[in-house]
Amino acid sequence: MVDLGGQYKGIKEQVNSAIATIMETSAFINGPEVRSFQKELEDYLGVKHVIPCANGTDALQIAMMGLGLKPGDEVITADFTFAATVEVIALLQLTPVLVDVDMDSFNINIEAVEKAITPKTKAIVPVHLFGQCANMDAIMQLAEKHNLFVIEDNAQAIGADYIFDDGRKQKAGTIGHVGATSFFPSKNLGAYGDGGAIFTNDDELAHTLRGIVNHGMYERYHHDVVGVNSRLDSIQAAVLRAKLPKLDGYCDRRRAAARSYNQAFKGQPNIVTPQTVKCEKEICDDCSCHVFHQYTLRITNGKRDELVKHLAENDIPCGVYYPIPLHRQKAYADERYNEADFTVTNQLVKEVISLPMHTELDDEQINFITKTVLEFVNG
């Protein structure tokens, strides 16, 4: 699904040199590499504050802690996503409220969000799934109307631009009150271990978050807020610094692969290719609104699982993200949920399949993958 070894060859000298310097200086935690990466990511995103942390799940949890959410507060998020988004809500004894998603973008459905808002609702967590932003125009309008926080789960969409209805562009993760991302190795901007970061333009919130990530300390042994131990280490920061200047190029290569996939599957009645909802063209050459962390098809003839087996028989990796909706997971099941409210999610979990998507895909590989898919679909 990813080729991190191939990607490493393009940054090998810079990464190896930086790691050697870190080993010599022994500045392993909160060293110069971390501070430099923080500043460079702030500049890239156009955001005032980046707070590095240990992983993407911590980033979400710390963001919620920084906003002062209290046990029992309701937090609305998408049913169709990875469990990290909802597990941090539950860990903080907040009340997760899961809602359905849109069929075209796989992102949180605005009508479902509005329907779910109650006097106890305090925040909305849109997940920018597979590399494309949720409808942030509508989400921010709802948040303003109901005085809610917006916490962007940007683990899969770093580098993407959100195009507002008035034509303005802003980087994913910097639109809400706070954003969180993951630097897991397979992400578009991935480390060689765990890592994460939180983004905000709010000076006061940033100050709070900087204390939380470091045991609640602003001065050593003075604990001003309840905190956690969640820091990005210097080696991971060095890897991320090497990759950040190449991120736009990485995303361009993913988009090029997506265009090739789309062309191969064009006109197939049982295959629905990914939709870019903010562009007039399906996937245009200058499209920046989708960074294709995953390339996810819908197989609509009921044979998705058979296709998975067929690909495995031909040594082609694939992924099913996500096979069980969160509202059906044992840890998050709740009698409040009605299956009739999750019609899209319940359909998607039966149809979606993600094909290999990374910066090192070449035409030969894509041709083999698409030929193998089409042999099955048309066989």
Q: pLDDT per position in the chain (379 positions), as tens?
A: 999 999 999 999 999 999 999 999 999 998 999 999 999 999 999 999 999 999 999 999 999 999 999 999 999 999 999 999 999 999 999 999 999 999 999 999 999 999 999 999 999 999 999 999 999 999 999 999 999 999 999 999 999 999 999 989 999 999 999 999 999 999 999 999 999 999 999 999 999 999 999 999 999 999 999 999 999 999 999 999 999 999 999 999 999 999 999 999 999 999 999 988 866 555 555 578 899 999 999 999 999 999 999 999 999 999 999 999 999 999 999 999 999 999 999 999 999 999 999 999 999 999 999 999 999 998 7
Q: What is the pLDDT of residue 348?
A: 98
CA distance 52 to 38: 7
What tens digit of pLDDT does each residue of 255-290 get?
999 999 999 999 999 999 998 886 655 555 557 889
Contact 217, 231 (CB under 8 A): no
Contact 182, 155 (CB under 8 A): yes
- 183: which 2 tokens? 């630097």
CA distance 328 to 172: 29
CA distance 239 to 142: 38
pTM for the whole structure: 0.95
What tens digit of pLDDT does each residue of 286-311 get?
578 899 999 999 999 999 999 999 99
CA distance 94 to 72: 5
Contact 230, 267 (CB under 8 A): no
Contact 352, 304 (CB under 8 A): yes
Q: What is the pLDDT of residue 277?
A: 81
Q: What is the pLDDT of residue 283?
A: 53
* Ramachandran assignment for 2, one of left (phi > 0), alpha (psi -120 to 50 degrees), beta (any other): beta
The two beta strands, 161-163 and 121-125, are unpaired
CA distance 17 to 328: 48
CA distances from 17 to 7, 20, 52, 235, 326 (A): 17, 5, 22, 11, 43
Q: Bridge-partner residues for 290, per DSSP?
A: 132
Residues of the chain with pLDDT > 90: what percent? Answer: 94
Count other Cβ atoms within 10 Å, centred on residue 68: 12
HEC profile for the chain? CCCHHHHHHCCHHHHHHHHHHHHHHCCCECCHHHHHHHHHHHHHHCCCEEEEECCHHHHHHHHHHHCCCCCCCEEEEECCCCCHHHHHHHHCCCEEEEECECCCCCCECHHHHHHHCCCCEEEEECECHHHECCCHHHHHHHHHHHCCEEEEECCCCCCCEEECCCCCEEECCCCCCEEEEECCCCCCCCCCCCCEEEEECCHHHHHHHHHHCECCEEECCEECCCCCECCCEHHHHHHHHHHHHHHHHHHHHHHHHHHHHHHHHCCCCCEECCCCCCCCCCCCCCCCCECCCCEEEEECCCCHHHHHHHHHHCCCCCECCCCCCHHHCCCCCCCCCCHHHHHHHHHHHHHEEEECCCCCCCHHHHHHHHHHHHHHHCC
Q: What is the pLDDT of residue 350?
A: 98
CA distance 98 to 307: 29
- 94: which 2 tokens? 């907040």
Q: What is the pLDDT of residue 286?
A: 56
Q: What is the pLDDT of residue 190?
A: 98
Q: What is the pLDDT of residue 352?
A: 98
User: Measured in Å, how far apart are the chain's first and last C-alpha atoms?
Assistant: 25
Q: What is the pLDDT of residue 288?
A: 80
